[in-house]
Structure 1
Amino acid sequence: MSVDVEDWFQVQAYAGTIRREDWEGLDRRVEANTDRILGLFERAGVTATFFTLGWVAERHPALIRRIVAAGHELASHGHGHELVREIGAARFRADIRRAKAVLEDAGGVPVRGYRAPTFSIGPRITPWAHAVLAEEGHDYSSSLFPVRHDLYGDEAAPRGPHRPDPSGVTELPMTTLRLGGRNLPCAGGGWFRLTPYAAFRTALRRVNQAERTPGIFYFHPWEIDPDQPEVPAARPLARFRHRVGLRRMEHRLERLLRDFRWDRMDRVFPDAIAGAATQLAAPQPAAA
């Protein structure tokens, strides 16, 4: 189970509408929404990995301490939610170095994991990224989505844990179901809000049982916040992607937390992170 901790105005869907220089003056809702998620997890007895923006940690250090105190894994989502494929190796290094330092200072724990904003790294578009992550002290990335999508994804990428670069970190890709010669998304976010719950649950169980592998689920704090501000200037498709299913998301999450066993990324994939295996099998159906 994983949470990408960013605020509603930082999403890629609004990148062409909300200017980065205006972020500071917008209504910050990430702390309250993340606290609601912490409550959901506590009631369900679930621990998770929180891939958190350094930008958020700088402004809400007490939230970072609450995440750690509740037993969750603190990981990095980079600092400023910039697409890795657009900023290049030098700025990427500076971004993850700054985020790691801010997160570790606020949380008082090592930050081992990283997830790229909008899954914007991959062997073909950023062949240097996994090595840079290793050089900056990370142990794993969860940044590849092996699907076909207009904003991200690489359907040719491996579906299981692997090392894209022998000198780099382990990659733990988003979960997909192989069906009809295609990879179907089975990981969370907008896909989870769009798909009928029974269909999503069946797909994830098939991954667990037929392939004997854990799944990785992700979502964002803003996805349980249907009352967040509207952005009428955004493109219709962007507004739809961002807002579809928000009112039923929290209830769906409660069902998902009951229907599967969940834990932190570092506990579900310890051998893969250590590089001991290129494909991890689960002894029982499980999800992360």
Structure 2
Amino acid sequence: MTVDVEDYFHVSAFAPYVERHTWDRLPCRVERNTERILDIFAYRQVRATFFVLGWVAERYPSLVRRIVDAGHELACHGYSHIRVTEQTPDQFREDAGRAKALLEDIAGCPVLGYRAATYSIGAKTLWALPILEELGFRYSSSIYPVRHDLYGMPEAPRFAFRPMGTRSLLEIPITTVRWGKRNYPCGGGGYFRLLPYQVSRWAMARVNRSDGQACIFYFHPWELDPDQPRQRGIGLKARFRHYFNLSRMERRLQRLLSDFQWDTMAKVFLAHHDTSPSDCQ
């Protein structure tokens, strides 16, 4: 179970409409929404991995400490929520390294995991994976092996693998279900809100049963917030993707938490790949 801790105005689909220099002037809702998630997880006795954006951590350090104090794994979502496709290697190294150092300083424990903004590590940006290893990350969950207009590497392995050019880094792709000759997304996000819950549940159960693999599910704090401020002037596609079924998300999440067993990325994956789990969980 994973949470990408960013606010509603950080999403890449809003980038053409919400300029970065305005972020500090917008009403932030990430703290209260993440606290709601912590309450839900506590009630369901679920431990999860929180990929926290450095921008958020810098402004809400007490939220980072609450995540760790609740027994969850702290991981890194970069600092500025810039897609890897829009960065040079040096810019990527600075952004990821800055966020990792910030999170570790706040929490007082190692941060082993990284997730790129909008799953933007793909065929043209595999150079980012050795950089993550240089920075001390032990795993990445940044590749989505599907076809999508914003991201995707359909030819990538569907399950955890060691990328070429690295020695110890593990890439753990977002979960897909194989149907025919194509991978279909079933790891969360907008697809979880768009499709009937039974479809998502069937797909994840199929991965567990037929592939014998654990599933990775992800969502964002703003997805539990149907009352968030509406952005004006955004395109129809971006509006649909962001706002569709927000009012149903919490109820579906509660069902998901009860229908499957969940734990952190480190405990589910690293223990099976000869990597020591972090103390920050």
Question: Is TM-score (shorter-chain normalized) higher than 0.5?
Answer: yes
* Deviation, structure 1 residue 272: 5.1
Give SS of 2:103's match: helix
- 1:230 corresponding residue in structure 2: 230
Kept in 2, the 8 Å contact 1:4–1:220? The answer is yes
TM-fit CA distance, 1:258: 0.1
State the match for 1:165 in structure 2.
Answer: 164
Moved >3 Å (runs of 4+): 271-276
TM-score, length-scaled by structure 1: 0.93
What is the identity percentage for the equivalent residue pairs of Structure 1 and Structure 2? 55
User: Could you list the runs of 5+ residues in structure 1 that have no partner in the other structure?
Assistant: 277-288
- Give the counterpart letter for 2:113 in structure 1: G
* Aligned residue in 2 for 1:50: 50
CA distance in structure 2 between the aligned counterparts of 1:275 and 1:73, rounded to whole angstroms:
15
Q: Which residue does 2:111 correspond to in 1? A: 111
Root-mean-square deviation (CA, aligned residues, Å) is 1.2
Cα distance in 2 for partners of 1:92, 1:202 equals 37
SS at match of 2:87: helix
Q: Distance in 2 between matches of 1:32 and 1:150?
A: 31
Q: Render the CA deviation track for 1:196-251: whole Å, top value 9, x for unaligned.
A: 00111011001001111000000000000000011121111101000011000000
| Correspondence 1:155 to 2:160 | no
Query: How far 1:128 sits from its partner (Å)?
Result: 1.3
Partner of 1:203: 203
2: CA distance between counterparts of 1:86 and 1:178? 30
Deviation of 1:61 (Å): 0.2
Q: Secondary structure of 2:88's match?
A: helix
In the alignment, the residues of structure 2 paired with residue 70 and residue 246 of structure 1 have an alpha-carbon distance, to the nearest angstrom, of 26
Structure 1: distance between partners of 2:117 and 2:198: 28
User: Counterparts of 1:34-73 in structure 2 under 5 Å?
Assistant: 34-73=34-73
Q: Who is 1:144 aligned against?
A: 143
Whole-Å separation in 1 of the counterparts to 2:188 and 2:126: 26
1:20 pairs with 2:6: no
SS in 2 for 1:51: strand
- Which segments of 5 or more consecutive residues in structure 2 lack a partner in the other structure? 277-281
Question: In the alignment, residue 166 of structure 2 is paired with which amino acid?
Answer: S
User: In structure 1, how many angstroms separate the alpha carbons of the residues matched to 2:9 and 2:91?
Assistant: 22
When the two structures are superposed, what TM-score results if normalisation uses the length of structure 2? 0.96
How far did 1:109 drift?
Answer: 1.4
CA distance in 1, matches of 2:190, 2:224: 12
Deviation of 1:269 after TM superposition, in Å, equals 0.4
- How far is 1:275 from its partner? 6.7
